[in-house]
Amino acid sequence: MSTVITGGTGLVGKYLQKYLNGVYLSSKDFNLTKESEVIRMFEIHQPKIIIHLAARVGGILENINKPIEYFEDNVLMNTYLLKYSKEYKVEKFIGVLSSCAYPDVSDHYPLLEGDLHNGIPNENNYGYGYSKRLMGVQIDIFKKLGYNYSYIIPNNLYGEFETGDMSKKHFIGALLEKIKNANVNNENEITLFGDGTPLRQFTFADDIARIIKLMLDNNINENLNVGIEENLSINEIANLALKATNSEHLRIAYDKSKPNGQYRKDISTEKLQKLFPDFKFTSYLKGIKKTYKTITNE
């Protein structure tokens, strides 16, 4: 069956290419925010399976400064892809949400899949978070009508294939760029936003690709949280990155005039572990080392 992967040249898509044969599309191939372009994609490729990785993503300042663009672009992409998946009789659809879609504050942690609608997303990711949550709603409607459609909710991601300037990178990608630049320029410190106290889970993107392949191979049709279990502070992760990159000589300074972002949003992977009990996620040290080698061309 024809398999189409949107966002196929992005962070997760590049890893998925190792495990899954299919048509890997980028924004250079089709503008998925335009209905005519989505129709053209379906006409050309006639997919029976869609892995929807494409999204407008960026760092905290990008999300704060452009909330309308993040909401509109993602809602348009998700809506058109699902609308025409139905019309072109796509047999399996896996969409990728984000832990940013979860409520800003919860009375319990880690967050379960059923907590998705128990409050509004964090204000710094409000547009993006709601756009991802709405895709979950759309997919659940199809699921209730008997379609083999589902979604995964990863926590924060990093990896070797992240591109773009630092303002558009996930935290670890931007952090490693700062470490590289400090080392190249013989500086003695790096500066990070906030105060280092927020808690985060960061998953090596290759692990998400491997989970998607397992879901396809086993025809899993459940909505799943996907990601590493460790929930560490930004300061702990930054110090791990210094260790992994042999950069412990660098001092970490915090710019408290900049936003911290959401304090915590850790997700439960209990459901995932029951489905794939032998799956092992990549450790922080191993994943960060591999990513840094790519950034520094070592």
User: Are the CB atoms for 83 and 39 separated by under 8 Å?
Assistant: no
Q: What confidence category does residue 164 fall into, taking pLDDT thresholds of 50, 70 and 90?
A: low
Token output for 62: 């990008």
Catalytic residue selected from 70, 80, 102, 128: 128
What is the radius of gyration, based on Cα positions, of the chain? 19
Q: Starting at the edge strand that comes first in sequence, how are the strands of the sheet with 149-154 ordered? A: 23-24, 3-6, 49-52, 92-96, 149-154, 224-226
Average pLDDT, the chain: 95
For residue 269, the surrounding DSSP H or E stretch is: none
Instruction: Evaluate if residue 167 carries a pLDDT over 60.
Output: no
C-alpha distances in angstroms, 163 versus 84, 102, 138, 218, 294?
29, 26, 29, 32, 11
Instruction: Evaluate if residue 157 carries a pLDDT over 80.
Output: yes
Cα separation, 159 vs 161, whole angstroms? 6
Instruction: Evaluate if residue 169 carries a pLDDT over 80.
Output: no
Q: What confidence category does residue 59 fall into, taking pLDDT thresholds of 50, 70 and 90?
A: confident
pLDDT in tens, 181-191: 999 999 999 99
Q: What confidence category does residue 262 fall into, taking pLDDT thresholds of 50, 70 and 90?
A: confident
Contacts of 83 (CB under 8 A, 6+ apart): none
pLDDT at residue number 165: 62
What integer is the mean pLDDT of 104-132? 96
Q: What confidence category does residue 63 fall into, taking pLDDT thresholds of 50, 70 and 90?
A: confident
pLDDT at residue number 259: 86
Q: What confidence category does residue 193 fall into, taking pLDDT thresholds of 50, 70 and 90?
A: very high
pLDDT at residue number 166: 58
Instruction: Evaluate if residue 100 carries a pLDDT over 90.
Output: yes
pTM: 0.94
**E strands present in the chain:** 3-6, 23-24, 49-52, 92-96, 149-154, 156-158, 189-193, 199-200, 202-204, 224-226, 232-233, 251-255
What integer is the mean pLDDT of 270-281? 98
pLDDT at residue number 58: 77
Tokens 């290419």 belong to which residue? Answer: 17
Instruction: Evaluate if residue 26 carries a pLDDT over 60.
Output: yes
Please indicate whether residue 80 is annotated as part of the active site: no
What integer is the mean pLDDT of 109-127? 96
Least confident of 22-26, 58-62, 141-145: 58-62
What integer is the mean pLDDT of 87-94? 98
pLDDT at residue number 244: 97
Q: How many CA atoms lie within 13 A of 206 on its CB side?
A: 15
